[in-house]
Amino acid sequence: MSLVGPRPGLLTIRAREVKGVFAARPGITGLAQISGFDMSMAELLVGTNSKMVKTYL
């Protein structure tokens, strides 16, 4: 686990695989969290985390 990275999400495992989110180590905080999204916005979290991984890896 790292300090910054996509937070693990149990409800969106398949979507995270498809969008490549697992290419990054999970973190305590990530782009979705500092953008103010909560865990009830599962697809938005996946999209935001995917964007973060593609931009910064």
Mean pLDDT by 10 residues, the chain (57 residues): 70 83 83 80 85 86
Q: Which secondary-structure segment (H or E) carries 4? A: strand 2-4
Is-contact 7 29, C-beta < 8 A? yes
pTM: 0.70
Q: At 25, phi and psi to the nearest 5?
A: -70, 140
